[in-house]
Amino acid sequence: MLTPLRRESDQPARGVRRGVYLLPSLFTMGNMFCGYACIIYAMRGEFATAAPFIGIAIVLDMLDGRIARMTGSTSAFGVEFDSLADVISFGVAPAIMSFAWGLQPLGRLGWAAGFLFVAAAAVRLARFNIQSGSHDKRYFVGMPSPAAAGIPAATVFAFPAGFQSSLEALPVLAMVLVPALLMVSTIRFRSFKTFNLQARRSYPALFLVALALALLASHTELVLLAMAYSYVASPFVGMAVARVRRHPEAEPAPVAEPAPADPSH
């Protein structure tokens, strides 16, 4: 029997389609590599080099999901692969870097705190996977693991010298444990995935982004530190503002004027 001839144009189309599906996974692989590189440099004591790898991993993590949605190449494999990469880059890598940088003088307490960070990141990612699509897209339930990893990354990048005594290392516990607790909490953190660039009100926001980039180029360490800790404080500031609006201060009651005297008496 005669078989239909395969058109030559079908093969390039299939190759392009396979490339589209592979592209998000390449970004995820880059994310994983950055986490691995951060661990290697942290073990060598090169903290100024290790910390930026977490920042690069955050950017790659933002890009892989967006590219997958833009190209229509989302898949169950991509979701699982992204979560595994995030556990390394935003769980294991920040914990090891924090231990080598400032928790090591605390001994067992230090590595136990680092393990709590890893466990919180894994729980946060697992919860996000099972809750995806069932909550408000404008908010994250619990602190996102990339933002939590940004806390030690920005701190280490701003102060790469580290700590050598147990007393100096005590504040590092808060740097690790507070983001860990926020990751497994139910506090809502704002998501920027729904930011609409087509809205007119987005133009002032774009100007603010340009201003932030200019400041980032001139004062890199301080701007990254301010961005990381501002995001941590943002839900608490929002809750305080909402409470003030919900319960405005009671206005003082008007003082009753005395009745005029009766002229007949």
Parallel/antiparallel/unpaired status of strands 188-190 and 139-141: antiparallel
pLDDT of residue 76: 83
Q: pTM for the complete prediction?
A: 0.80
Between 130 and 9, residue with greater pLDDT: 130
Residues 110-144: pLDDT tens digits?
999 999 999 999 999 998 888 766 566 778 888 99
Q: Identify whether 208 is part of a domain.
A: no
Q: Identify whether 253 is part of a domain.
A: no
Output the domain CATH number for residue 151. 1.20.120.1760
Domain count, the chain: 1
- Closest to 143 in 3D by CA, of 63, 31, 232, 238: 232
Q: Identify whether 219 is part of a domain.
A: no
Q: Identify whether 167 is part of a domain.
A: yes
Q: Is 139 helix (H, G, I), strand (E, B) or coil?
A: strand
Give the tokens for residue 165.
């005594």
Q: How confident is the model at residue 96 (pLDDT cuts 50, 70, 90)?
A: very high
pLDDT at 90 over 60: yes
Tokens 């914990």 -> residue: 95
CB 87 within 8 A of CB 119: no
Q: Identify whether 15 is part of a domain.
A: no
Q: Identify whether 183 is part of a domain.
A: yes
- Host domain of residue 78: 21-195
- Closest to 96 in 3D by CA, of 39, 31, 151, 160: 39
- Closest to 96 in 3D by CA, of 56, 143, 153, 145: 153
Q: Identify whether 75 is part of a domain.
A: yes
pLDDT of residue 1: 47
Q: Is 249 helix (H, G, I), strand (E, B) or coil?
A: coil
Supply the DSSP symbol for 3.
P
